[in-house]
Amino acid sequence: MTDSIYDLAVMGAGVMGLSAAFIAANSRPRDRIVIFDRETVGSGASGFAPGIQINIGRNEKERSLLNRGSKIWREIYPHGWPSGRDCDVLWLTRDPEELTRMSCVVGTAPSTSFALRERLLSLPQFLIPGDMVVALDRGSYCPVNSIVRDLAQRLKAVGTSIRERTSIARIRQRPSHISLQTSDDSELSARRAVLAIGPWLPESPLRAHLAEGPRLRVKKVVALHLAARPTTNCPMVGLFDDYAFLIPMIEEGYWLFSFTSHEWDVRPDTGGLHVSSDDLARANAILTKWFSPDIPAIASARVFCDCYSDDGVPFSRPAQDVAGLYVVGGGGGNGFRFGPACAEEAIRSLYSHH
């Protein structure tokens, strides 16, 4: 009977769930691990996120998650990302004190610098106002779908079972293990479990296992693909005052413009999400501050959603009613940056207590 019990079951094959499974498999290679996903690996928010790594943290909790998460990614990818690249980040702001408080910038440069203009030649109509402070930092980007595909392949190679198109309908406490009932009415047992189902968590009946708080909501996430081909030395541009980004997706041949959508309480169904007129109006309002006389044409767009906690910070918490179950979530568009630290916290707690 004990041979049929998994050491760890992970629900959700996004970046948080796969990070948890990878950390567990790396530290305990003999453990039997199974991963479930209601669709396919990376089919949720992780399949659409650009994977921006930036040195921004609004508070001490975010900065701690960022530092730990960055360390974990360096350990997993000591020779660099499977795709994407490291790059400079040019932060543009009229509030340098707030930028300094939230980040560790390397230095500043005058907005009229010829070197800056030369590196942004692929955006010929992009203009930096003379009163704008330009701060230099380092960052990176890596499409998260390439990360989750790579983690899934590496986990399969060491014997981890990944069951796609299989969701968990019920989790029950047993005297010596956790019972997991799947959507096709089969049942399996695990000593430990991690629930990391992203934007499906707020409406899932499994949400009941999370203790009171945090409040969870699902928000739409939108990014536009601008019809301008970046060059190899392009930096990432952070429009700090609007918390928006211009990311040079060199391999794809366009600049990605990421900005904040304000459409809340959407359903986690990518087929039913679309870029609205309000989204375009907000994007144009930001872009027209920087492009003169016209903004680049929009070649295409990506739209998805993510789960946000009440304070906007991802969390890792033990279930209130099932020993050995941790709930990880609230990626809030930052699951790539903060998720590994939450996953590590869950795995460490599960293995130290059980």
Question: Tokens 């508070």 map to which residue?
Answer: 59
Stronger pLDDT, 189 or 185, i.e. the higher one? 189
Q: Find out whether 239 and 258 touch, Cβ atoms under 8 Å.
A: no
> What pLDDT score was predicted for residue 2?
45
Spatial distance between the Cα atoms of 225 and 228, rounded to a whole number of angstroms: 9
Quick one: pLDDT band at residue 19, thresholds 50, 70, 90? very high
Stronger pLDDT, 180 or 3, i.e. the higher one? 180
Helix/strand/coil for 215? coil
pLDDT at 110 over 80: no
Chain-centre distance of CA 61, in angstroms? Answer: 17
Spatial distance between the Cα atoms of 283 and 244, rounded to a whole number of angstroms: 9
pLDDT at 311 over 90: no
Averaged pLDDT for residues 172-185: 93
pLDDT at 74 over 90: yes
Averaged pLDDT for residues 110-129: 80
Query: What DSSP assignment string belongs to 219-281?
Result: EEEEEEEES-PPPTTPPEEEEGGGTEEEEEETTTTEEEEEE----BS--S-GGG----HHHHH
**Cβ-based neighbour number of residue 7 at 10 Å:** 18
H/E stretch holding 136: strand 133-141
pLDDT tens digits, one per residue of 140-163: 999 999 999 999 999 999 999 999
pLDDT at 274 over 50: yes
pLDDT, mean over the chain: 91
Quick one: pLDDT band at residue 1, thresholds 50, 70, 90? very low
Quick one: pLDDT band at residue 106, thresholds 50, 70, 90? low
Q: Find out whether 49 and 335 touch, Cβ atoms under 8 Å.
A: yes
Least confident of 106-120, 197-211, 235-249, 289-303: 106-120
> What pLDDT score was predicted for residue 205?
93
Spatial distance between the Cα atoms of 230 and 250, rounded to a whole number of angstroms: 6
pLDDT tens digits, one per residue of 220-265: 999 999 999 998 889 999 999 999 999 999 989 999 999 999 999 9
Q: Which two tokens stand for residue 29?
A: 């290679």
Quick one: pLDDT band at residue 316, thresholds 50, 70, 90? very high
Helix/strand/coil for 117? helix
Least confident of 80-84, 155-159, 192-196: 80-84
52-53 vs 133-141, strand pairing mode = antiparallel
The fold of the 4-350 domain, in CATH, is: FAD/NAD(P)-binding domain (3.50.50)
The phi-psi region of residue 265 (left if phi > 0; otherwise alpha if psi is between -120 and 50; otherwise beta) is left
- 70's CB contacts (< 8 A; 6+ apart) are 53, 337
Alpha carbons within 13 A on the beta-carbon side of 308: 17
Helix (DSSP H) and strand (DSSP E) numbers for the chain: 7, 19
H/E stretch holding 65: helix 60-76
Q: Find out whether 14 and 45 touch, Cβ atoms under 8 Å.
A: yes
Judge if pTM exceeds 0.85: yes
Helix/strand/coil for 101? helix
Amino acid (1-letter code) at residue 1: M
Q: Find out whether 50 and 247 touch, Cβ atoms under 8 Å.
A: yes
The neighbouring-strand residues paired with 33 are 8
Spatial distance between the Cα atoms of 354 and 347, rounded to a whole number of angstroms: 10
> What pLDDT score was predicted for residue 38?
94
pLDDT at 88 over 70: yes
pLDDT tens digits, one per residue of 283-295: 999 999 999 888 9
> What pLDDT score was predicted for residue 3?
53
H/E stretch holding 301: strand 298-309
> What pLDDT score was predicted for residue 153?
98
Q: Give Dmax (Cα) for the chain.
A: 71
Share of the chain above pLDDT 70, in %: 95
85-93 vs 52-53, strand pairing mode = unpaired
Chain-centre distance of CA 13, in angstroms? Answer: 13
